[in-house]
Structure 1
Amino acid sequence: MSSLKDVAALYQNLKTEWSKKPRKLDKCGELLNKIKVALTQLTFLPSNNTAANQKELILARDVLEIGAQWAVAVKDVKAFERFMSQLKCYYYDYQDHLPASTYMYQLLGLNLLFLLSQNRVAEFHTELERLPVDVIKADPYVRHPIALEQYLMEGSYNKIFLAKGNVPAESYTLFMDTLLDTVRGEIAACIEKAYMCISCTEAARRLNLSSQQAILDYGKKRNWTLGTDNCYHFNAAEETCAAAAGVLPSSELAEQTIEYARHLEMIV
């Protein structure tokens, strides 16, 4: 059975490995697995608020914080979610028993960005409501995902692309990239519905893709039809079917609507 001293020794090894540049992520992962097993043999519950009990709580919290950051570094999204689920009880339920963590709001802000990148907006707002008002207003780690959510609500996608170069911590890059992919998908879906055709150059500009090859790869990914005129063509088959079925094309429908409005104005 592991003692607090044994777990503390493992944690020191983990902390040393995590602080190295470059980090050996495989080694950190092995140490995390050992510590997680060892922690199950400790109480780490705020039962009697003794010094030893508090050390257990702090140790468990610090391990989980490194675990969450490690999960992001190895791009293991499910592991990150598990670590954050465990961490939140230390941040919220045990906060009266522990000194404040320097990583608390960085990781809670990162969790907000994670939820936003997964389009889990209801959970995003639920987690946001758990934070103090002064933190929501001033903390840079929390303000970043809040601003992004506001940009999404406004449809200011260009501001989201610009925000990629202004993340508050390196760990935010993973979920920022995921969010950008989601936004790019929304823009692409709008392009498919709004245009009969669009040039590669214009499509790249709207999707914030930096090169000709990038837009070609993206178009291939979405099964877009690239014509000899170097433009992507959409809805050609739908327009043909609509015409065959006697459905008015959009331009003719617009003309009729304008004509109806003109007659209505004359009547009024």
Structure 2
Amino acid sequence: MSSTPTVESIRTQHATLQTIVKAKDYKKAAQSLAQLKLALLGCNILIPSAAAPAQSLCLARDILETGAVVSIHLQDEAAFLRYYAQLQPFYAMTALENSPSKSKNKIMGLYLLLLLTKNNIADFHTTLENMPGLEEDVFVRYPVMLERWLMEGSYDKVWQATKSSHVPSDEYAMFSEVLVGTIRSEIASCSEKAYASLPVSNAKQLLFLESEGAVVKFAEELTTREQREWEVRDGRIYFPVEESEKEAMSSNKIIENTIGYAQELETIV
């Protein structure tokens, strides 16, 4: 029969968990976290209450924050959202104001970035409004700037930010491909409305792809996944857009500017 967990035993397990995370053994960390959450439940500190000692609540908060980070490395979005929800009561407790979390802004920023990859702009702004004074924090400023550039159509800036040292942490970098995929989808939609066709070489720069072969693969995936029916032949991509729409959008400069930015970036990279 297992012994009743104590705060001290949880503290020891937490130290072991931190060693596992430093070793980047995230699957083992997830198993350890499952045991720790049961122990927190057994000590009545998984859900914070005013009756629990502040030190015990800080320990529980630290464990849940570790769980949120581990879930990102495991690409387990559902687990991250569960940890995020469990952390909110801890962040709201006035009893813990004298022991502020060192990871709160990172967790909040990751949540904002997740909303951005889902194109959930309404919840993004609602969440941000509930974080007064944090827009200058490095972890929060990053998704805020990305959202601003996305709304402006400055996709080159977003692409550059996801591929540079501006990424605040490894966990943020893991969202890069997802976010670039969102950008490519948006650019693909704009391209269909702006042009009858594009040279594959231009589409490569426009979509931030590494080769013309990758452009062909991207077009095939769009046709399969989204039934967009892009046709690649004679070195060009032909879009299935009505002629009247193409003529109406012929003066659209957004795509041309993005191609220009992409060409400039290519010379830098």
TM-score under structure 1 length normalisation: 0.81
CA contact (8 A) 1:161 1:180 kept: yes
Structure 1 residue 108 displacement after superposition: 1.1
Alignment map for 1:247-262 (pairs within 5 Å): none
Please state if 1:197 is matched with 2:197: yes
**1:163 aligns with one of 161, 164, 174:** 161
Residue in structure 1 matched with residue 104 of structure 2 by the alignment: 104
Q: Which has the higher contact order (CA 8 A, sep 6+)?
A: 2
Matches of 1:122 and 1:99 in 2, distance apart? 31
Residue in structure 1 matched with residue 149 of structure 2 by the alignment: 151
Structure 1 residue 32 displacement after superposition: 0.6
| Counterpart code for 2:36 | I
CA contact (8 A) 1:200 1:215 kept: yes
C-alpha spacing 1:250/1:149, structure 2 compared with 1 (3 Å): closer
C-alpha spacing 1:151/1:95, structure 2 compared with 1 (3 Å): farther
Q: Which runs of 5+ in 1 are unaligned?
A: 240-247, 255-268
**1:226 aligns with one of 228, 232, 245:** 232
Matches of 1:56 and 1:204 in 2, distance apart? 54
| Counterpart code for 1:151 | W
Q: Residue deviations 1:27-74, cap 9 Å, x none?
A: 11110111111111122234236xxx2222011111111111101111
Structure with greater Cα Rg: 1
CA contact (8 A) 1:157 1:183 kept: yes
Could you say what the CA RMSD is over the residues aligned between the two structures, in angstroms?
2.1
Structure 1 residue 98 displacement after superposition: 5.0
Residue in structure 2 matched with residue 260 of structure 1 by the alignment: none
Residue in structure 2 matched with residue 18 of structure 1 by the alignment: 21
CA contact (8 A) 1:226 1:233 kept: yes
Identity of aligned residues (%): 33
Matches of 2:108 and 2:35 in 1, distance apart? 25
C-alpha spacing 1:179/1:56, structure 2 compared with 1 (3 Å): same
TM-score under structure 2 length normalisation: 0.81
C-alpha spacing 1:6/1:157, structure 2 compared with 1 (3 Å): same
Structure 1 residue 9 displacement after superposition: 2.2
Aligned residues: 236
Residue in structure 1 matched with residue 256 of structure 2 by the alignment: none
Q: Which runs of 5+ in 2 are unaligned?
A: 224-229, 251-269
SS at match of 2:119: coil
| Counterpart code for 1:210 | E
CA contact (8 A) 2:116 2:143 kept: yes
Matches of 1:39 and 1:107 in 2, distance apart? 20
CA contact (8 A) 2:194 2:246 kept: no
Structure 1 residue 251 displacement after superposition: 5.1
